[in-house]
Amino acid sequence: MASETGIGASVKRKEDARFITGAGNYTDDINAAGQTYAVFVRSPYARAKINGVDTAAAAATDGVVAVFTGADLAADEIGDLPCGWLVKSKDGSDMVAPPHPPIATQAVNYVGEPYAVVIGETLEAARNGAEAVDADFEELPAVVDLSTAASADQIHESVPNNQAYDWELGDKAATDAAFDSADHVATVDIVNNRLIPNAIEPRAALGEYDAAAGTYTLHTTSQNPHLERLVLAAFVNVAPEARLRVISPDVGGGFGSKIFVYAEETAVIWAAGKVRRPVKWRAERSESFLADCHGRDHVTTAQLALAQDGKFLGLRVKTKANMGAYLSTFASSVPTYLYGTLMAGQYTTPAIYVEVQSLYTNTAPVDAYRGAGRPEATYVVERCVETAAREMGIDPAEIRRRNFIQPGDFPYDTPVALTYDTGDYEASLDKALEHIDYAGFGTRRAASESAGKKRGIGFSCYIEACGLAPSQVAISLGAGVGLFEVGEVRVDVTGSVTVVTGSHSHGQSHETTFAQIISDKLGVPFENVTVLHGDTGRSDYALGTYGSRSLAVGGSAIIKATDKIIAKGKKIAAHMLEAEEDQMEFADGTFTVADSNQSITFGEVAFSAYVPQNFPLEDLEPGLSEKAFYDPPNFTYPAGAHICEVEVDPDTGVVDIVDFVAVDDFGHIVNPMIVEGQVHGGLAQGIGQALFEHGVYDDTGQLVSGSYMDYTMPRADDLPSFTVDTTVTPCTHNPLGVKGCGEAGAIGSTAAVMNAVTDALGVASVPMPATPETVWRAGRGE
């Protein structure tokens, strides 16, 4: 049903009424009677042995309720924070993960790692108490440099060579043979800079313990409250699953960083049980910098083998990935199954071999950040392609065209384990070339030249695997959980609808998009649909939101439940109209007997289901409420073409993005306005990585980019307006034909920017972020 509020309409968001009036309900807005405040005491050293922690003075501080160290948690048998994805090394051995106690016990391994928590009557009392905690540290030399970490001091007793795993994917022999027969080999050396996610809402938690019921309630800033509950219950032993409720209310951005189960909420919910009072914590921004999981941080050498005509023959990638000090919740999967598997990109490269060595360092843990592995893969592939094009004198658009997988080739098996279901890569590239006016670039470049500026253009034709994930595939590759989703559609007595989804919205607009789907499918007015999420007490076990999965997986579950509603509705309607069930048709909110003028509305059927006077009770249960679990048969494969045009001032090194075009294929789109917004935000983060953002540790492991004065967040005056457009090849294996749009901007844009900057300067490479100083030096050949 095409309508003003159905699928395909840019409906204004339901969420906005509360957010624009200050009525949002974020974790830090929630207070419990009698609550106390937690302050974490954090390591000033990157690596040190803890000889002892003296809490006596802290405990004696005015207003301090309790002081806990790692030993207190250990005494209560609180377990380690686990990593949920088991990756195996080349030799078949399991990855090596060091113990990760929520509160450090014997050693601290990154600056900011908590080693005690102080609970106070007020925040100030807790802060004063934290100041009084006295630890006896024996400082050890920090391992900071990723490139030499394997041969540096051993950080963890149980982890030889500081290596988590040494993983491979692809056919080494076939790839070697491809290189032997190549006419040209393009080589790139890449550092994929460490990023710090920086959702504007800092992480927060409010833990409550109901002594009478023996139950715990944790409000926290999580993208996946059920996963949080499962880990805290089954692995960390805070409370049995049945006695722990996790609620993620309004959450102010996540970008991956709020997927993970962290020390702080673990300690907060545990401490609430110990002090028998609510315990509240909100990160200060400096804590966010130090102790949120960071993103990216790879060192890579990659080579692309080509034939004389520019056809790709083989790709060889060797990467070192920084895991930080411990293995975070999904850290192991990011540089492997979300990275190596994407190395075919949009191309027919027949032979690919990827090696990834993941190493520990004395830095904050690194895990998924918007795109998670796929931006890193795109950066490798698209820098290789651009380099090859320049070295061989082939137009960068043309070399991509010669190597695209063609629309007739799908389903397409890549040499790195994925099966792409559909796509039309040339269509996106053509549209992007038109938007940027590629034909006019030479003229624009000449104009810049005469004004003393250097103009460059850069391409990035990316692909991503989204809609995580087919559970059996994921589990066979090491995932510790399934990756389905649940959706429940409850029709109310009066015909309005309540949807309960296991997906979580922290900016993605589920309350609007999912209501559009229901309005479209059931013919119920948009304003009569309410979407609930973010509460383990409301939805069945579900996996939450990351990897651009909410609509493709969560939306599909809702569609399945909706189909069940319609099927049951037809039975009820057939009874009411004294017709046969197989004669019933349903469209636009009306059940009709085929080839007749007999019909009944959805609302009448709903009412009959709950006031079952004229209702087949002998055959059917009363009520109209259905639930479905959806497990995707494949990943989805959003893809697109991003083109960036920059002008560089050679005297200052300042890069001005004069135009940025993103043409993406997300399959069918439910709400174009929302999708465009997702792309804009992703582009800002991808451009941020290219030009501004850098998580930097000094040689001693101190985070020197630990505040907004030092870590450059893209601000309004740093960015241009964007040109965003789409092409459509519907996903072939989910009911909506959707692919996911949340990460594309961050995946495609970084390579486009850097290809443009290097093009402008006429140099082979520029390190990220391309700050004015870096660009100025690169322009001078330094």
Burial 320-339 (b: 16+ CB within 10 A, else e): bbbbbbbbbbbbbbbbbbbb
The HSE-up count of residue 502 (CA atoms within 13 Å, CB side) is: 28
Contact segment (CB under 8 A) with another protein among 22-30, 312-320, 375-383, 626-634 equals: 22-30
199 in contact with another protein (CB under 8 A)? yes
Alpha-carbon span 59 to 82, nearest angstrom: 30
Beta carbons of 734 and 551 less than 8 angstroms apart: no
Q: Could you tell me the smallest distance in angstroms from the CB atom of residue 722 to another protein?
A: 6
450 in contact with another protein (CB under 8 A)? no
**Between residues 17 and 567, which has the closer beta carbon with respect to another protein?**
17
182 in contact with another protein (CB under 8 A)? no
Token representation of residue 719: 């960015």
User: Binding residue for another protein (CB under 8 A) from 40, 165, 255, 546?
Assistant: 255
Nearest CA among 170, 63, 226, 263 for reference residue 629: 226
Contact segment (CB under 8 A) with another protein among 98-106, 332-340, 403-411, 712-720 equals: 712-720
**Between residues 449 and 656, which has the closer beta carbon with respect to another protein?**
656
* Phi, psi (deg, nearest 5) at residue 666: -105, 15
User: Binding residue for another protein (CB under 8 A) from 72, 168, 201, 649?
Assistant: 201
Contact segment (CB under 8 A) with another protein among 108-116, 186-194, 267-275, 504-512 equals: 504-512
Q: Could you tell me the smallest distance in angstroms from the CB atom of residue 530 to another protein?
A: 16
Contact segment (CB under 8 A) with another protein among 12-20, 460-468, 494-502, 594-602 equals: 12-20
Q: Find where tokens 């698209």 sit.
A: 382
Q: What is the contact mask toward another protein in residues 28 to 47, using x (rule: CB under 8 A)? A: xx------------------
Size of interface with another protein, in residues (CB under 8 A)? 58
8 in contact with another protein (CB under 8 A)? no
User: Binding residue for another protein (CB under 8 A) from 2, 393, 709, 782?
Assistant: 709
Beta carbons of 89 and 97 less than 8 angstroms apart: no
User: Binding residue for another protein (CB under 8 A) from 36, 43, 61, 198?
Assistant: 198
371 in contact with another protein (CB under 8 A)? no
Q: Find where tokens 């060579």 sit.
A: 161
Q: Could you tell me the smallest distance in angstroms from the CB atom of residue 762 to another protein?
A: 29
- Residue 236, classed as helix, strand or coil, is coil
Q: Could you tell me the smallest distance in angstroms from the CB atom of residue 463 to another protein?
A: 22
Residues 121-150 close enough to bind another protein by CB under 8 A: 124
Q: Could you tell me the smallest distance in angstroms from the CB atom of residue 383 to another protein?
A: 23
Burial 625-646 (b: 16+ CB within 10 A, else e): bbbbbbbbebbbbbbbbbbbbb
**Between residues 42 and 506, which has the closer beta carbon with respect to another protein?**
506
Q: Could you tell me the smallest distance in angstroms from the CB atom of residue 672 to another protein?
A: 10
DSSP string computed for 385-397: HHHHHHHHT--HH
Contact segment (CB under 8 A) with another protein among 194-202, 298-306, 427-435, 604-612 equals: 194-202
Length of the chain: 782
User: Binding residue for another protein (CB under 8 A) from 506, 533, 549, 575?
Assistant: 506
Q: Could you tell me the smallest distance in angstroms from the CB atom of residue 507 to another protein?
A: 3
Question: To the nearest 10°, the Cα dihedral for 645, 650, 651, 654?
Answer: 30
704 in contact with another protein (CB under 8 A)? no
**Between residues 376 and 693, which has the closer beta carbon with respect to another protein?**
693
Element (H, E) at 275: helix 263-275
CA distances from 754 to 190, 378, 749, 772 (A): 11, 12, 9, 13
User: Binding residue for another protein (CB under 8 A) from 8, 82, 253, 589?
Assistant: 253
**Between residues 268 and 356, which has the closer beta carbon with respect to another protein?**
268
DSSP string computed for 433-494: HHHHTGGGHHHHHHHHHHTT-EEEEEEEEEE--BS---HHHHHHTTBSS---EEEEEEE-TT
User: Binding residue for another protein (CB under 8 A) from 12, 90, 276, 780?
Assistant: 12
Q: What is the contact mask toward another protein in residues 233 to 252, using x (rule: CB under 8 A)? A: -----------------xxx
Contact segment (CB under 8 A) with another protein among 8-16, 78-86, 377-385, 645-653 equals: 8-16
User: Binding residue for another protein (CB under 8 A) from 151, 158, 450, 721?
Assistant: 721
Contacts of 450 (CB under 8 A, 6+ apart): none
Q: Find where tokens 């395909």 sit.
A: 8
Q: Find where tokens 């006896």 sit.
A: 136
- 376: buried, middle or exposed (CB in 10 Å: 19+, 13-18, 0-12)? buried
Q: Find where tokens 């949080």 sit.
A: 228
- Residue 208, classed as helix, strand or coil, is strand
Q: Which residues pair with 319 in a beta bridge?
A: 300, 356
User: Binding residue for another protein (CB under 8 A) from 18, 49, 276, 780?
Assistant: 18
DSSP string computed for 279-320: EEEE--HHHHHHHS-BEEEEEEEEEEEE-TTS-EEEEEEEEE
**Between residues 511 and 626, which has the closer beta carbon with respect to another protein?**
511
User: Binding residue for another protein (CB under 8 A) from 509, 536, 729, 734?
Assistant: 509
Contact segment (CB under 8 A) with another protein among 47-55, 398-406, 462-470, 681-689 equals: 681-689
Element (H, E) at 384: helix 374-392
673 in contact with another protein (CB under 8 A)? yes
Q: Could you tell me the smallest distance in angstroms from the CB atom of residue 195 to another protein?
A: 12
Residues 262-291 close enough to bind another protein by CB under 8 A: 282, 284-286
Beta carbons of 143 and 360 less than 8 angstroms apart: yes
735 in contact with another protein (CB under 8 A)? no
Q: Find where tokens 């928590």 sit.
A: 117
User: Binding residue for another protein (CB under 8 A) from 77, 582, 716, 782?
Assistant: 716
159 in contact with another protein (CB under 8 A)? no
For helices 425-436 and 396-403, give the axis angle rounded to 10 degrees: 170
User: Binding residue for another protein (CB under 8 A) from 680, 700, 712, 730?
Assistant: 680
User: Binding residue for another protein (CB under 8 A) from 6, 98, 202, 273?
Assistant: 202
Alpha-carbon span 712 to 196, nearest angstrom: 10
Amino acid occupying residue 8: G
Beta carbons of 649 and 637 less than 8 angstroms apart: no
Contact segment (CB under 8 A) with another protein among 19-27, 309-317, 396-404, 603-611 equals: 19-27
Q: Could you tell me the smallest distance in angstroms from the CB atom of residue 631 to another protein?
A: 28
408 in contact with another protein (CB under 8 A)? no
Nearest CA among 183, 203, 154, 643 for reference residue 441: 643
Question: To the nearest 10°, the Cα dihedral for 769, 341, 187, 410?
Answer: -110
Alpha-carbon span 548 to 199, nearest angstrom: 17
676 in contact with another protein (CB under 8 A)? yes
Amino acid occupying residue 731: C
Q: What is the contact mask toward another protein in residues 570 to 609, using x (rule: CB under 8 A)? A: ----------------------------------------
Q: Which residues bind another protein (CB under 8 A)?
A: 12-13, 15-24, 26, 28-29, 124, 198-202, 250-253, 255, 282, 284-286, 506-509, 673-674, 676-678, 680-685, 707-709, 713-719, 721-722, 745
